[in-house]
Structure 1
Amino acid sequence: MADIFDVIADGTRREILQLLLKRSSEGATGTSVSQIVAALGVSQPTVSKHLKVLRESELVSVREEGQHRYYSLSPEPLEQVDDWLVPFFVADGDFDLGEIEVPALPVPAVRAAEGIGRAAASAKVVVQSALKRLGA
């Protein structure tokens, strides 16, 4: 399996992940290759090549119906990125807890906080992508 950072380094793959995230938040149970091609404006072979990398990295799952394949986001591998980034934000001096004992958060609160963080990061990527397309 490729390194997760190599996988998400490619802009087209990030756009595919963003599209799958958006479609799943809209209630879609999968997105076809032709829908991805239409949304991104890239060729079908290009999309298929990137989907293969995303599949091998377990960032997407695929459901087959006849000759059609429907892709869905599987964000679990992105936790590696999250785990790698967190120390940089904590280590920069923003959080000096000294000897204060911090109680553990309940699991639902942790999941909610993770979801909010991911949503904020996703929104930032969407805005940056839109601004890039507009030439801003």
Structure 2
Amino acid sequence: MRVVLVGGADYPEGMTDIFDVIADGTRRDILQLLLRRSTEGDGGTSVTEIVSELGVSQPTVSKHLRVLREAELVTVREDGQRRFYSIAAGPLEAVDDWLVPFLVDAYGEQAPDVDLPMLPLPDGAAHAAEVVGRAAASAKHAVTSALRRFGS
């Protein structure tokens, strides 16, 4: 579902809320920590580990985790009294999809490579994904530019 805001801006539903959520530095730190930990295994990270790693109080971490849960940016797994949190990339993919055209328009073929700390793809698959991604971005940019020139 798409939402059209005043002024004609077209955003995926909930995306503006995600910007509000990730505007907070502590929440970004928590997301970074969960992303790093996700490459080490997918059992999740406990509140105690987050508190220890970030040096932030437990009530503060719990408050931010609640906000991240409500925005569906993290998932929680309960094991007795303990809760383990993992990153949920889905909502961030909507933001990524929205940002890509800006990068293509700004950089064209010289778009910077983004180094994400995720599980590596096999060499052949990584190269194929990069080639396909750049070709798709280039084709979209060419079509968009052509449509602008012809006034469509």
With a CA cutoff of 8 Å and minimum separation of 6, indicate the structure with the bigger relative contact order.
Answer: 1
State the AA in 2 paired with 1:14.
R
1:41 alignment partner in structure 2: 55
TM-score norm. by structure 2 comes to: 0.60
Structure 1 segments, 4+ long, off by >3 Å, are: none
Higher Cα radius of gyration: 2
* Bigger helix share: 1
Partner of 1:18: 32
- Out of 72, 81, 94, which is 1:58 matched to? 72
**Separation in 2, partners of 1:93, 1:34:** 42
Give the gaps of 5 or more residues in structure 2.
1-13, 110-124, 131-152
The number of residue pairs the alignment matches comes to 102
Cα distance between partner residues in 2 of 1:66 and 1:78: 30
Cα RMSD after superposing both structures: 2.3
Structure 1 pair 36/87, CA: closer, same or farther in 2 (3 Å)?
Answer: same
Q: Gaps (5+ residues) in structure 1?
A: 96-107, 114-136
Task: Give the letter for the 2:96 counterpart.
Answer: D
TM-score (norm 1): 0.67
Q: What percent of counterpart residues are identical?
A: 69
CA-to-partner distance for each residue in 1:33-67, whole Å, 9 max, x for gaps? 00000000000010000000100011110011111
From 102, 124, 127, the counterpart of 1:88: 102
